[in-house]
Amino acid sequence: MAQINLDEIAHSYLPDVQKEDEYALKRIHNIWDDGGAYALLGPSGCGKTTLLNIISGLLKPSSGRVKFGDIDVTDLPPEKRNIAQVFQFPVLYDTMTVFNNLAFPLKNRGFDKEYIDKRVREVAQILELEPFLNKRAEGLGADAKQKISLGRGLVREDVAAILFDEPLTVIDPQLKWELRCKLKEIHEKLQLTLIYVTHDQVEALTFADKIIVMYEGWIVQVGTPQELFEYPNHKFVGYFIGSPGMNFIPCTMEGDQIKVGDALIPVDKKTAALAKAAKGKLEMGIRPLYLKVSQSPDEEGFDVPVTGVEDQGSHRIISVDFQGFTLKARIAENDPIPESTARICFSKEWIRLFADEKLLK
């Protein structure tokens, strides 16, 4: 129906706020497009759920306005906002049948019986809940229960956005994948705006077109999974996205080269120029995937002692000691593991520089 416009939202759970730390959300200003699949990603306590509840109307922000399209909904209660929310734990009306659960939001809004019947059956078909329609909701599995929660949102044709608050936490891994596929399918079919809160990067990366990374009440980056991986805006994004996260080492500039300890690493001219202009604490970041462990001794790089190897199934992660800092690098399954020393190469295109935790660009 409409884009979601968050206009300078800030929220604190305390009545009288003095310091910035007391805000759970600090100045969120963002516009989310109609029909997009967004993931709100961040660690516990970063304000994801607070933001979600502000959008759904369960919370009123301390300041700022929420707009759905042109309509200011900041003061509207949840039931008037045309949104649906799926919670972390399945919320069902236990004593009702699945049919009545799905029909509940429509009954409350006074639709006639025929319409309700038709609509519930349509939604049940999409969610593959037809066989359970006349069963009590209580005895079903967690995945079916979450589908019912979702269904209660889908039955309303006027629904503008469906908000998910870590909906797969209680689902078994195998079913998680199935449900995620189902969500994608529904998104493509119905073109609804979906906002999905999670602290699981895999969930976020597979679900969303765009990921909103939150950290301590701020939105630190909004981007596609690729953007987040290759150009993390903030040190936190580099660290939080990817497994293991980005390597960071404090560094200085010497001419057009990065200096770490007594090692000099060449970078391209553009990065060097940015680094020279930057103020604050300088750090170099490189993803373990792009930190190359060379097999040939001729390649330009550094010989460093290997301090640990971690087998992760499809690949292995080795830890090396570089100028007193631990770096992690990814080695493909079939490549040999260096015994005691490895030759690591920093390729210019993957080196990112951060000043005061923010990406230089």
Partner 1 sequence: MKKWQDNKGWLFILPVFLIVAFSAIVPLMTVVNYSIQDIFGPGQSVFVGTEWFREVLRDQRLHEALWRQLLFSGLVLLIEMPLGIGIALLMPAKKGFGASLVLVTLALPLLIPWNVIGTIWIIFTRPDIGLMGAAINAMGLTFDHTASGLHAWITLMLMEVWHWTPLVALLAYAGLQSIPPAYYQAAKIDGASSWSIFRYIQLPKMRGVLTIALLLRFMDSFLIYAEPFVLTGGGPGNTTTFLSIYLVKIAVGQFDLGPAGAFSLIYFLIVLLFCYLFYQALLNVGGGKES
Distance CA 276, CA 253 (A): 7
CA 167-207-159 angle, 5° bins:
65
- Sole residue written with tokens 């429509």: 106
Indicate whether 225 belongs to the interface with partner 1 (CB under 8 A): no
Q: Considering only residues 298 through 337, tell me which ones interact with partner 1, judged by CB under 8 A.
A: none
CB nearer partner 1, residue 162 or residue 284: 162
From 63-71, 122-130, 146-154, 317-325, give the range in contact with partner 1 by CB under 8 A.
146-154
Binding to partner 1 by CB under 8 A, coded x per residue (else -) over 166-205, reads: ----------------------------------------
Q: State which of residues 46, 83, 284, 329 lies at the interface with partner 1 (CB under 8 A).
A: 83
Indicate whether 149 belongs to the interface with partner 1 (CB under 8 A): yes
Neighbour order of strands in the sheet with 193-198: 83-86, 161-165, 193-198, 37-41, 210-215, 218-223
Distance CA 36, CA 194 (A): 6
In this structure, are residues 90 and 146 in contact, taking their beta carbons and an 8 Å threshold?
A: yes
Q: How far is CA 320 from CA 262, 288, 293, 324, 335, in A?
A: 16, 11, 10, 9, 17
Within 191-213, where are the H helices?
Answer: 201-207
In this structure, are residues 316 and 309 in contact, taking their beta carbons and an 8 Å threshold?
A: yes
From 7-15, 60-68, 71-79, 287-295, give the range in contact with partner 1 by CB under 8 A.
71-79
Binding to partner 1 by CB under 8 A, coded x per residue (else -) over 93-132, reads: xxxx-------xx--xx-----------------------
From 7-15, 72-80, 279-287, 302-310, give the range in contact with partner 1 by CB under 8 A.
72-80
Give me the residues that bind partner 1 (CB under 8 A), please: 53, 56, 58, 77-79, 83-85, 87-89, 91, 93-96, 104-105, 108-109, 135-136, 138-139, 149, 152-153
